[in-house]
Amino acid sequence: MTYRKFKADYLFTGEETAEPDSVLITTPEGIVQDIVPAAVAGSDVVYYPGWLAPGFINCHCHLELSHMRGVLPEGTGLVDFLASVMRRRKPDERKPGARPREGGAGGPAEGGASGPAGGTGMAPDVHAEMIGRAAAAAEEEMLAGGIVACGDICNTADTLPVKAAGRMHYHNFIETMGFVEAGAPARMAASKVVFDAFETVFPGRNSIVAHAPYSVSPALFKLIADHGAEYGAHHGAAQLLTIHNQETEAENEFYLTGKGDFLRLYEALGLDVSFFKGTGKRSLESILPFFHQDQRLILVHNVATTAEDLADMGSPKLPSLYFCLCPNANLYISGRLPDLDLLQRSGIPLVLGTDSLASNHQLDLLAEMKTLQQHFPQLETATLLKWATAGGAKALGIETTVGRFAKGMRPGVVSVSHLDGERLMKDSRARRLL
């Protein structure tokens, strides 16, 4: 067999930077054989300037929103951003069957709008075709930029045909929402239809998850956690869940007092939430008790997460947590980034996501790393690469197949070039070699 031999200025294994002059050896298909010193690697070693790393793991995306690239204005803040997204996801334009939710099952408003589709005036078939085309192009973009696996939020089964081609590993997070308690069983039933559609094609790689603390009622949280536990028991593993967490301070205010900027969102959606008086606690503390301790929960965004939220994180009753950062989406929506020092000090593992093309200019994990290093210059490239590779793989529960250059694994090989020493620059680029 002719092996492939890769050498770079810096070889990142997924966990750490290998010794200088190390050579990665794979089969022609990319199955890792070894990492050896150049002196014993023999001939035919190919040198790539910059970093070499395993394929990247995107822990948070919404592939089905890819057709919204460049549509929504930047810097509006979360409430206006959400109102815009929901206005563009009108259920009356949805194709029955392909989009299983009906009757306004969608936004946090019970009678409100959110199923995808959107003020395009197109017939449902044309709209579905456009979503499919945009999702395929977005997937292609992710693959070219070195992403090999993706945790993808799904409100519909629109992306199923693209994913069924099997070019990338997906964990599908079927997202549900509904802030009025009485609507919880109907919301869950609607999400179960989407879940079953994915489960038929990708058994064991799907979860029903909560959208966000401000859009899910206690009754629905319980149904979600219990569905996860039941499914986890069936598959012999802890269930993988995720939620948008503390994307804005208004979320904490809403939980503490029942008031604040989110009331504008409910008003725009025609939903009366006057029954909710707040819990007197911040949002994260309010919702964590709904989850089971053997569950894994990826908290996405964490822009308004503070030391107060992290005080009791050592409790064994909590699910195991991951913080997922999507900095470019944060800058797009609100111009604010999370308190990275605080999150790092918490000891909770960090991972990376791109969020969707509705709130990002590209689905490029390296672009997320560049933004983080630019705003937090103390961050070393190796730390970012770890979050993007082995860290993300562990969060998605696929660490035995991707994320590391470990013998027998086929994690993909990515070259990161155009650097300043080992540091990323504005025009640094990631390219999938294998």
> In angstroms, what is the minimal distance from the CB of 250 to Zn ion?
16
**Stretch of residues binding Zn ion (CB under 5 A), selected from 80-88, 122-130, 306-314, 354-362:** 354-362
Rank residues 65 and 117 by Cβ distance to Zn ion and give the closer one.
Answer: 65
Rank residues 173 and 290 by Cβ distance to Zn ion and give the closer one.
Answer: 173
Contact 201, 160 (CB under 8 A): yes
Contact 291, 317 (CB under 8 A): no
Rank residues 253 and 355 by Cβ distance to Zn ion and give the closer one.
Answer: 355
**Stretch of residues binding Zn ion (CB under 5 A), selected from 40-48, 190-198, 268-276, 348-356:** 348-356
Closest CA to 361 of 58, 56, 68, 59: 68
Rank residues 139 and 355 by Cβ distance to Zn ion and give the closer one.
Answer: 355
State the residue for tokens 């890819």.
66
> In angstroms, what is the minimal distance from the CB of 202 to Zn ion?
20
The DSSP bridge pattern shows strands 206-210 and 169-176 to be parallel
Q: Number of residues interacting with Zn ion: please give it, by CB under 5 A.
A: 1
> In angstroms, what is the minimal distance from the CB of 62 to Zn ion?
6
> In angstroms, what is the minimal distance from the CB of 381 to Zn ion?
25
- Treating both helix axes as pointing N-terminal to C-terminal, what angle do 184-201 and 218-235 enclose, rounded to 10 degrees? 30
> In angstroms, what is the minimal distance from the CB of 413 to Zn ion?
29
Q: Pattern 298-337, binding to Zn ion, x per CB under 5 A?
A: ----------------------------------------
Rank residues 158 and 355 by Cβ distance to Zn ion and give the closer one.
Answer: 355
Q: How many CA atoms lie within 13 A of 14 on its CB side?
A: 27
State the residue for tokens 């966000």.
212
Rank residues 26 and 215 by Cβ distance to Zn ion and give the closer one.
Answer: 215
Strand partners, 210: 176
Rank residues 358 and 434 by Cβ distance to Zn ion and give the closer one.
Answer: 358
CA distances from 223 to 178, 256, 290, 305 (A): 12, 23, 9, 25
Dist CA 123 CA 341 (whole Å): 48
Query: 153 by DSSP, 3-state: which?
Result: strand
**Beta carbons within 8 Å of 83's beta carbon, 6+ residues apart:** 264, 265, 268, 269
**Stretch of residues binding Zn ion (CB under 5 A), selected from 5-13, 66-74, 352-360, 418-426:** 352-360
Closest CA to 170 of 179, 160, 182: 160
Nearest to Zn ion by Cβ — which residue? 355
**Stretch of residues binding Zn ion (CB under 5 A), selected from 77-85, 182-190, 355-363, 367-375:** 355-363
Report the interface residues with Zn ion, using CB under 5 A.
355
